[in-house]
C-alpha cells in the first residue's frame, strides 16, 4: 500500500458476470480505489502485473482460469497483493482451496 497513512487501498476486481462485477466495484469504490474491473482471469493477471494493486478480488468460478488458478498465477508473478475470493458456492472445499 502507498506510504501515505490516509491513502486508500488499490483494488482490482475480476468477475465474469457483469452484474456481479458492477455490484462489487460499486460497493468497493466507496472505500477503495478500484483500479480495474475485468471479466476473466487472464485480464486480472495482466492488470495485477501492470497496476501493482494492494488487493485483488476474484470470482472463484470464472471460465478458462478460475479464481483459484488466477490467484496462483498472480502469486507466482511475485505480486504481494492480498487476494480475496467472491463466491456463491457453499461448498467447504472451495473455502479450503482458497486458504492454501
pLDDT tens digits, 8-50? 999 999 999 999 999 999 999 999 999 999 999 999 999 999 9
22 lies in some domain: yes
Interatomic CA distance for residues 29 and 89, integer angstroms: 24
Q: What is the extent of the structural domain holding 35? A: 10-90
Average pLDDT of span 73-79: 96
76 lies in some domain: yes
79 lies in some domain: yes
Number of domains in the chain: 1
For residue 19, what is the domain's CATH number? 3.40.50.2300
96 lies in some domain: no
Interatomic CA distance for residues 24 and 19, integer angstroms: 9
Interatomic CA distance for residues 83 and 17, integer angstroms: 19
- Among the ranges given (63-67, 76-80, 93-97), the one the predictor scored with the smallest mean pLDDT: 93-97
Amino acid at each position: 500500500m502507498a506510504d501515505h497513512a490516509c491513502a486508500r487501498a488499490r483494488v482490482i476486481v475480476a468477475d465474469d458476470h457483469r452484474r456481479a462485477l458492477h455490484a462489487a466495484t460499486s460497493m468497493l469504490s466507496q472505500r477503495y480505489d478500484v483500479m480495474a474491473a475485468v471479466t476473466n482471469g487472464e485480464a486480472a493477471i495482466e492488470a495485477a502485473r501492470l497496476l501493482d494493486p494492494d488487493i485483488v478480488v476474484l470470482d472463484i468460478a470464472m471460465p478458462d482460469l478460475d479464481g483459484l488458478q488466477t490467484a496462483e498465477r498472480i502469486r507466482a508473478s511475485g505480486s504481494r497483493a492480498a487476494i480475496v475470493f467472491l463466491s456463491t458456492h457453499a461448498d467447504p472445499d472451495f473455502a479450503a482451496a482458497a486458504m492454501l
